[in-house]
Amino acid sequence: MTKEEFIEDLSRLGSVEQRPQPTGQVLALLEAQPVPGTGLTSRVGFLLAETVTSRPPIYVEGTMRTRSGGVPSNWQTQAFGTDVLGTWSFNCVWDPASDPGDALALAALAQWNR
Give me the mean pLDDT over the 58-74 stretch: 89
Long-range contact set of residues 81-84: C-beta below 8 Å, sequence gap at least 24: 81/19, 83/29
Give me the mean pLDDT over the 9-22 stretch: 97
pLDDT of 73 over the 90 cut: no
d(CA 100, CA 63): 27
Percent residues over pLDDT 70 in the chain: 100
Give me the mean pLDDT over the 36-43 stretch: 90
pLDDT of 10 over the 80 cut: yes
Mean pLDDT of the chain: 94
- Where exactly are the structural domains of the chain? 3-110
Q: How far is CA 51 from CA 20, 56, 81, in A?
A: 15, 10, 24
